[in-house]
Amino acid sequence: MMEDQEEKGNAENGIGRQKQVKDEYLLQFLDSLDGYLTLLDSLSSTLSQGWLELASARHAMGASRINGALLDLKVHAAATSLKVSEQDVDSMESQPCFTLCKWASSDNGERSSGEEKSLSPQLRHRNNSQLSEEKVSTRTGTPLILVDQQRQKSLSVFGVLVSPKLRSAQLSFERALETLVEIANLHTTMLSMFEQVHKELENTNG
Amino acid sequence: MYGFEAMTFNIHGGYLEAIVRGYRAGLLTAADYNNLCQCETLDDIKMHLSATEYGPYLQNEPSPLHTTTIVEKCTLKLVDEYKHMLCQATEPLSTFLEYITYGHMIDNVVLIVTGTLHERDVQELLEKCHPLGMFDSIATLAVAQNMRELYRLVLVDTPLAPYFSECITSEDLDDMNIEIMRNTLYKAYLEDFYKFCQKLGGATAEIMSDLLAFEADRRAVNITINSIGTELTRDDRRKLYSNFGLLYPYGHEELAVCEDIDQVRGVMEKYPPYQSIFSKLSYGESQMLDKAFYEEEVKRLCLAFEQQFHYGVFFAYMRLREQEIRNLMWISECVAQNQKSRVHDSVVFIF
């Protein structure tokens, strides 16, 4: 009798733990879905802001100074690149992880200045003020003055003396790029969580 | 009191002054802008503009429209009106009218040179040039490697030749040199235009001096703000300011050492005409500065029409039309991007 009761207790504990694990996967999936939708909304508003700032810069500087015909067609290194790596999750499966390498000059095959970001939820908050950015150093320790130089270099296709509105547009599109990479990472996490939830449901039904 | 322009101006300038005043009456009014700001699509804008003098220029454009198409066609109207006036004008009005286009010529030269440096096709660059700034040998600019060649091969036969004396070097053209060339040419052009108007004397000299001085001062402020945080040294910045205007010379000395927008505000607020402009801005803000300057410019340009028998009305009309085209560009962009709430950020009403 006592043994039966003990077995029954163990079985109930096992079922409870299984339910906890399922709830946890479900919550993680819903969290990642919520984060994904929030980021999509944020991307949309950042891009709208960027396009309007670009139009505002064109209005201030003139159409002859800001147009597609001035973009540089010479072969040159990409100012920003995307690194894709495999990340182990719970030692069971690997999922792709996207990392943005911003303002990395790959002249001579080496990175001379750059700002490597792994876009996790701890991403530092950026604001529009370049002045405040100059006072904060990057996580990798790359001086922000080099980053600002790279930013100016990429804007120099439109001239050296450009309106602050064009610089704001550049920052907006930079933020949009970061958000895109965050979305990609969150999308991968979301799909992985969905797989987990699906497996648990199948196990339960099985 | 000016000279006796009332007695002699109409002999050569009367017809064209009447023409330009007629053109001025065709500028869009606040009611037109209110209708345009409520449009939902670019086709709606085209429909509203069809009832204005821009109608014939836009009527054959197929849908879907693009904002650059609207700006291009509206600019064509300005070019047609300018050419009509130029072909009817006698000296010295014809020279005065030509001076108005030299700014566009400088922009076109810089566009071609920059585009060539970036290995762009010359035909593509020519399509982006402003029609008022075109000249015969403009396509040949693409072969020049440095400023000396630029001058020797092409610009020596253009009206910009006298402005090149201060920037001829054998250095290869790069982004910084091109920017310095642009601003040095524009500085020389403004100073030359100013001297020409002074020589004309009378009401033309009085009114144009005020308008060109405002232009020089605005340029100085824009150069200062745009060069904050760049590699341009204080000395180089100082060299780009024009040698006339309300800010010359003490204001320029102070602007040359400014490191942020608040320091620029501190300098400009010492000058009463610019106090009202900067009082509209909050501290640290520079976004609305362009609109504030455009509003002040439009006010001064409209005042030029209050007096007769001078050439300032031609300059004022051209500038007012350009402002109108900028307004239409901004309204079109806001409509196309579904940002109608921001449309009043940059529209400057003329009447």
- pLDDT reported for residue A123: 33
pLDDT in tens, A66-112: 988 898 888 888 888 899 998 776 555 678 899 988 876 544 343 33
- Which positions in chain B touch A60 (Cβ < 8 Å)? 290
Beta bridge mates, A87: A95
Mean of pLDDT values over B87-95: 95
Q: Of residues A5 and B50, which shows the higher confidence score?
A: B50
pLDDT in tens, B212-248: 999 999 999 999 999 998 888 999 999 999 999 999 9
Taking the CA of residue A107 and the nearest CA in chain B, the distance in Å comes to 18
- pLDDT reported for residue B32: 95
Characterise B284 by phi-psi region: left (phi > 0), alpha (psi -120 to 50), beta (else). left
- Which positions in chain B touch A164 (Cβ < 8 Å)? 225-226, 286-287
- pLDDT reported for residue A89: 61
The count of CB pairs under 8 A between chains A and B is 101
Q: Of residues B126 and B279, which shows the higher confidence score?
A: B126
pLDDT in tens, B143-161: 888 888 888 888 888 999 9
Handedness of CA A68, A69, A70, A71 (dihedral sign): positive
Best mutation target among B114, B141, B295 (most A Cβ atoms within 10 Å) is: B114
Q: Report the C-alpha gap between B274 and A176 in whole angstroms.
A: 37
Q: In degrees, to the nearest 5, what angle opens at C-alpha B140 toward C-alphas A57 and B72? A: 40
CB atoms within 10 A of CB B36: 21
Handedness of CA B180, B185, B186, B192 (dihedral sign): positive
Query: What SS3 class is residue A206?
Result: coil
Residue A203: partners with Cβ closer than 8 Å, 6 or more residues away: none
Best mutation target among A61, A64, A132 (most B Cβ atoms within 10 Å) is: A64
Residue B304: partners with Cβ closer than 8 Å, 6 or more residues away: B207, B211, B310, B312, B313, B315, B316
B78: contact with A, CB 8 A cutoff:
no
- pLDDT reported for residue A129: 41
- Tell the residue number behind the tokens 């950026």, with chain if given: A126
Q: Are B118 and A70 inside 8 Å of each other by CB?
A: yes
- pLDDT reported for residue B279: 85
Q: Of residues B150 and A53, which shows the higher confidence score?
A: A53
- Which positions in chain A touch B223 (Cβ < 8 Å)? 161
Q: Which residue of B has its CA nearest to A129?
A: B284
- Which positions in chain A touch B287 (Cβ < 8 Å)? 56, 164-165
- Which positions in chain A touch B329 (Cβ < 8 Å)? 58-59, 63
Q: Which residue of B has its CA nearest to A163?
A: B226
Q: Does domain B1-81+310-350 have CATH number 1.10.132.50?
A: yes
Question: DSSP string covering A133-190, please?
Answer: HHHS--TT---HHHHHHHHHHHHGGG-SS--HHHHHHHHHHHHHHHHHHHHHHHHHHH
Query: Tokens representing B87?
Result: 């072909």
Q: In chain B, what is the greatest distance between 2 CA atoms, to the nearest angstrom?
A: 56
B116: contact with A, CB 8 A cutoff:
no
Comparing CA positions, the residue from B183, B228, B194 lying closest to residue B312 is: B194
Residue B171 has pLDDT above 60, yes or no: yes
Taking the CA of residue B162 and the nearest CA in chain A, the distance in Å comes to 23
Q: Of residues A193 and A3, which shows the higher confidence score?
A: A193
Q: What is the CA radius of gyration of chain B?
A: 21
Where are the domains positioned within chain B? Answer: 1-81+310-350
The interface residues of chain A toward chain B in range 114-143, judged by CB-CB distance below 8 A, are: 130-131
ipTM over 0.90: yes
Percent of chain B with pLDDT over 70: 98
Comparing CA positions, the residue from B214, B293, B289, B227 lying closest to residue B256 is: B227
- Which positions in chain B touch A161 (Cβ < 8 Å)? 179, 183, 222-223, 226-227, 230, 232
Q: Report the C-alpha gap between B122 and A55 in whole angstroms.
A: 25
Residue B303 has pLDDT above 80, yes or no: yes
- pLDDT reported for residue A120: 39
Q: How confident is the model at residue A12 (pLDDT cuts 50, 70, 90)?
A: low
Cis amide leading into A143 (omega within 30): no
Q: What order of strands is seen across the sheet that includes strand A81-89?
A: A81-89, A93-102, A115-118
Q: Are B337 and A52 inside 8 Å of each other by CB?
A: yes
Q: Of residues B172 and B204, which shows the higher confidence score?
A: B204
Beta bridge mates, A101: A81, A116
Lowest mean pLDDT among A136-140, B69-73, B321-325: A136-140
Q: Report the C-alpha gap between A188 and A181 in whole angstroms.
A: 11
B183: contact with A, CB 8 A cutoff:
yes
Where are the domains positioned within chain A? Answer: 10-62+162-205
The interface residues of chain B toward chain A in range 162-181, judged by CB-CB distance below 8 A, are: 175-176, 178-179
Beta bridge mates, B172: B146
The helix-helix angle for B67-88 and B14-25 (nearest 10°) equals 160
Q: Are A69 and B115 inside 8 Å of each other by CB?
A: yes
B29: contact with A, CB 8 A cutoff:
no
Q: Are A159 and B120 inside 8 Å of each other by CB?
A: no
A60: contact with B, CB 8 A cutoff:
yes
Lowest mean pLDDT among A16-30, B130-144, B223-237, B284-298: A16-30
User: Contacts for B37-41 with beta carbons within 8 Å, 24 or more apart?
Assistant: B37/B331, B37/B340, B37/B343, B37/B344, B37/B347, B38/B340, B39/B331, B39/B335, B40/B335, B41/B335
Taking the complete model, does pTM exceed 0.90, yes or no? no
If 0-12 CB within 10 Å is exposed, 13-18 middle and 19+ buried, where does residue B62 land? exposed
pLDDT in tens, A121-136: 333 333 334 444 444 4
pLDDT in tens, B96-141: 999 999 999 999 999 999 999 899 999 999 999 999 999 988 988 8
pLDDT in tens, B189-220: 999 999 999 999 999 999 999 999 999 999 99
Lowest mean pLDDT among A55-64, A75-84, B268-277: A75-84
Query: Tokens representing B57?
Result: 């220029």
